Chain A
Amino acid sequence: MRRREFLKAGALVVAGTAAAASGVATIADAAAGKPELTTLRPHQGETLLAMTRRIFPHKQLDDAPYWNVVRDIDTAAKSDSSVAKLIAEGIESLDAQGRRFIELAEKEQTIALKRIETTAFFQKVRSIELQTLYSDPSVWKVLGYQGPAYKYGGYIHRGFDDLAWLPNPPESASPKPA
């Protein structure tokens, strides 16, 4: 995957494949989920992508849901300059340990994060990631959660009691539905 990045007035604009450029993203296009960042610089975006992949690593997920997290960090940084500062300084200190964070192997990245896990910077990134990643319907699909149930009439007719690998409890313990 080749990505070219252009910096435009502080915003990161991605021109990937022709498909992405014309607005038709393909699944193979890992840059498809890459957001336009308003406040973070491209390097900060890339670093946060790597960092969020290490914090909650799910091999089955492509980059798109992690980019959504970076987008939300960007939004937080935009609306609160103290968050922007926290993120900028946090990334600087991550990069100041010899090589830049994004150049480290995955294992080394995890070790680097372990060292800073009690910092306000790490906590901020983790807490935004926790809320965004696990509230993302595309992530639910992969991890096996079905999300909102009301519009489908709940689970009363959709398998609330479909478990078949154990015997059914007697009716005295678990009466039949109405």
Chain B
Amino acid sequence: MPRYDANDDSVVLIVGSGAGGGTLANELCRKGLKVVLLEAGQRQSPATFRNEEWFAFNQLAWLDKRTTSGTWRIAKDFPNLPAWICKTVGGTTVHWAGASLRLQEHEFQARTHYSGITGANLIDWPLTLAELEPYYAKAENKMGVTRTNDIPGLPGNNNFKVMYNGAIRAGYKTVHTGRMAINSRPRDGRSACWQLGFCFQGCKSGAKWSTLYTEIPAAEATGKLDLRTESMALQIQHDDRGRATGVLYADKDGNHQFQKSRIVCVAANSIETPRLLLNSHSTMFPHGLANSSGQVGRNYMRHTTGSVFGVFKQPVHMYRGTVMAGIIQDEARYDPSRGFAGGFELETISLGLPFAAAFLNPGAWGEDYTNLLEGYPNMAGMWIVGEDLPQETNAVTLHPSEKDQYGLPIPNVHYDDHPNDLAMRTYAFKRGAAVYDAVGATRTVEVPPYPSTHNLGTCRQSAKASDGVCNKWGQTHDVKNLFISDGSQFSSSAAENPTLTIVSLAIRQADYIADQCSKREL
């Protein structure tokens, strides 16, 4: 592995090795560019993962302190854990479940379709589905998404059998084992899914795509990648022309280092990405880097979520096999007659007993709750993921007084549920319960949102510089050689799980960067 000189200003510096950053690094290395990849976390591997929920959480999750505010229930249930994301090589692709769906055409035009909703700060993406389609195809091939590229779907587990039968009886039509970045057959040097059921804890069989053991080793094999683990980016610096010059970071031992670079790409997930930009304020950029619009950190989206669990007379053993084992897609359509803009997907979910106890009703105790938990073997579960609307006041901001271990202000995440989100959640809870009732549930429970696994929109793409932070390539409007390379770019959240889109955008961004470099535009 090369170690580029701190003064080598020909490198591309990427912050974060997850879905966005890990993919971008590989794509750029394969085009022959020199890449320094800074990752705050340590490097694990399938060998060091463990099938234990709390152990894995402590091993992999981002646990640096954050605060919350707003009307969302997270602020009450998990005041210091707004998001469930990773600090490790591979980022949150280590924890993710693998659901890989394309956004729908109308979802790229949120303003056009949903306009006139009070309190929503809607814009259209500066990008269309047609423009992204070739990159979706590349991403699906790279990630080995089932039901694409002639890859068969995964076999459905017990949790899916309950969902399928209930869904059909409740009148749904599009119900199957999903499009998953999990091998149903051996592919790309990785095995087929063993149906372990610990997708959220790091896949020990390697069947599930993660940048940790796909993109990053591929980038290393080019000889172009300089991956620096346990290296926390603290500040992006710039020259007096307003061009980024490199990144100040804290290394393993806490020493400050400065790495020069030609281009800086930030893929630190939607809380740390705006935080890094805000913490990079200077005399020239008093409100933070690339923030002339004031939109850095704003329009934070986390999807309208919630879960429905059903308890049955007979065993289900939902924890056996893939966590997201199937999907109902009928409600993802555009249909304002339901009383809300946007749609939602219903996807199976399972939790092991340790997490079930923690999440089924956060804070609950006593006999009623233990009665519910005693139904654990007979439980089936599904997760709602729906489009939430951007609101300018839903924002990641710097805490006025609290600092982290590096002496930098910690982030506060503010989120108020929009009436549209509440209407969708109420409706989706009812539909989910109807699915389980149709196959004889003795009890259904509505489970409030988990800490956010999907974090989006805080440095969004916009056609006009005043509406957002970056253009349709992820290049910031204000600083030409500064790119946003993760889910922060999303102009709207759409109903689909975001990672396939993050990866597609990263592949597309790599093409653009390479092209601009060859034309000496960057």
- Are A and B co-members of a single complex? yes
Taken residue by residue from 133 to 175, chain B's Cβ proximity to chain A (1 for < 8 Å, 0 otherwise) reads as 0000000000000000000111111101110110000000001
B196 within 8 A of partner (CB): yes
B204 & A169 in contact (Cβ 8 Å cutoff): no
Which of B161, B319, B352 contacts A166 (CB under 8 A)?
A: B161
Q: How far is the CA of A158 from the CA of B357 in the complex (A)?
A: 24
B157 & A155 in contact (Cβ 8 Å cutoff): yes
CB nearest to A54 among chain B residues:
B366
Q: In the assembled complex, which residues on chain A have CB atoms less than 8 Å from the CB atom of B197? A: 149, 154-155, 160
B161 & A168 in contact (Cβ 8 Å cutoff): yes
A110 & B161 in contact (Cβ 8 Å cutoff): no
B165 & A154 in contact (Cβ 8 Å cutoff): no
Whether A110 contacts B366 in the complex (CB less than 8 A), given A175-B177, A176-B155, comes out as: yes
B184 & A162 in contact (Cβ 8 Å cutoff): no
Q: In the assembled complex, which residues on chain B have CB atoms less than 8 Å from the CB atom of A155? A: 157, 194-197, 320-321
B156 & A173 in contact (Cβ 8 Å cutoff): yes
Separation in Å of the A81 CB from the closest CB of chain B? 22
CB nearest to A133 among chain B residues:
B357
CB nearest to B162 among chain A residues:
A166
Which of B194, B365, B366 contacts A156 (CB under 8 A)?
A: B194
Q: How far is the CA of A178 from the CA of B162 in the complex (A)?
A: 22
A134 & B354 in contact (Cβ 8 Å cutoff): yes
Taken residue by residue from 40 to 74, chain A's Cβ proximity to chain B (1 for < 8 Å, 0 otherwise) reads as 00000000000000111110100000000000000
B157 & A161 in contact (Cβ 8 Å cutoff): yes
Q: How far is the CA of A163 from the CA of B352 in the complex (A)?
A: 18
Q: In the assembled complex, which residues on chain B have CB atoms less than 8 Å from the CB atom of A113? A: 365
B176 within 8 A of partner (CB): yes
Whether A175 contacts B155 in the complex (CB less than 8 A), given A163-B162, A163-B315, comes out as: yes
The interface size bin for chain B is 35 or more
B205 & A154 in contact (Cβ 8 Å cutoff): yes
A145 & B198 in contact (Cβ 8 Å cutoff): no
A117 within 8 A of partner (CB): yes
A97 within 8 A of partner (CB): no
Q: In the assembled complex, which residues on chain B have CB atoms less than 8 Å from the CB atom of A145? A: 319, 352-353, 376-377
* Overall SS of chain A's interface: loop
Whether A135 contacts B52 in the complex (CB less than 8 A), given A130-B358, A155-B195, A163-B158, comes out as: yes
Whether A149 contacts B175 in the complex (CB less than 8 A), given A161-B321, A178-B184, comes out as: no
B196 & A56 in contact (Cβ 8 Å cutoff): no
CB nearest to A122 among chain B residues:
B365
Q: How far is the CA of A133 from the CA of B176 in the complex (A)?
A: 36
* Overall SS of chain B's interface: loop
Q: In the assembled complex, which residues on chain A have CB atoms less than 8 Å from the CB atom of B423? A: none
B253 within 8 A of partner (CB): no
Among A131-173, those with CB < 8 Å from B are 131, 133-135, 139-140, 143-150, 153-156, 158-163, 165-169, 172-173
Q: In the assembled complex, which residues on chain A have CB atoms less than 8 Å from the CB atom of B354? A: 131, 134-135
Taken residue by residue from 314 to 349, chain B's Cβ proximity to chain A (1 for < 8 Å, 0 otherwise) reads as 111101110000100000000000000000000000
Q: In the assembled complex, which residues on chain B have CB atoms less than 8 Å from the CB atom of A146? A: 317, 319-320
Taken residue by residue from 27 to 53, chain B's Cβ proximity to chain A (1 for < 8 Å, 0 otherwise) reads as 000000000000000000000001111
B516 within 8 A of partner (CB): no
Q: How far is the CA of A177 from the CA of B194 in the complex (A)?
A: 10
A143 & B177 in contact (Cβ 8 Å cutoff): no
B177 & A55 in contact (Cβ 8 Å cutoff): no
Q: How far is the CA of A172 from the CA of B314 in the complex (A)?
A: 26
Taken residue by residue from 387 to 429, chain B's Cβ proximity to chain A (1 for < 8 Å, 0 otherwise) reads as 0000000000000000000000000000000000000000000
Whether A169 contacts B320 in the complex (CB less than 8 A), given A56-B365, A134-B354, A148-B50, comes out as: no
B373 within 8 A of partner (CB): yes
Taken residue by residue from 362 to 388, chain B's Cβ proximity to chain A (1 for < 8 Å, 0 otherwise) reads as 000111011001101100000000000
Q: In the assembled complex, which residues on chain A have CB atoms less than 8 Å from the CB atom of B153? A: 173-175
Q: In the assembled complex, which residues on chain A have CB atoms less than 8 Å from the CB atom of B192? A: 178
B160 & A174 in contact (Cβ 8 Å cutoff): yes
CB nearest to B439 among chain A residues:
A166
A160 & B365 in contact (Cβ 8 Å cutoff): no
A residues apposed to B, CB below 8 Å:
54-58, 60, 110, 113, 117, 126, 130-131, 133-135, 139-140, 143-150, 153-156, 158-163, 165-169, 172-178
17 contacts between A and B (CB under 8 A): A110-B367, A145-B319, A145-B377, A148-B51, A148-B52, A149-B194, A150-B194, A154-B194, A160-B197, A161-B158, A163-B315, A166-B162, A173-B153, A173-B164, A174-B153, A174-B161, A174-B177
* Given A149-B196, A160-B320, A178-B152, 16 further pairs, Cβ under 8 A: A110-B366, A126-B365, A134-B354, A134-B357, A145-B352, A145-B376, A147-B52, A149-B51, A161-B157, A162-B158, A163-B314, A163-B317, A173-B177, A174-B164, A175-B154, A178-B186
User: Which 9 pairs, one residue from A and one from B, show the smallest C-beta to C-beta distance?
Assistant: A154-B194, A174-B156, A144-B377, A148-B51, A160-B321, A145-B353, A163-B158, A155-B320, A134-B357
B residues apposed to A, CB below 8 Å:
50-54, 152-158, 160-162, 164-165, 175-177, 184-186, 192-198, 204-205, 314-317, 319-321, 326, 352-354, 356-358, 365-367, 369-370, 373-374, 376-377, 439
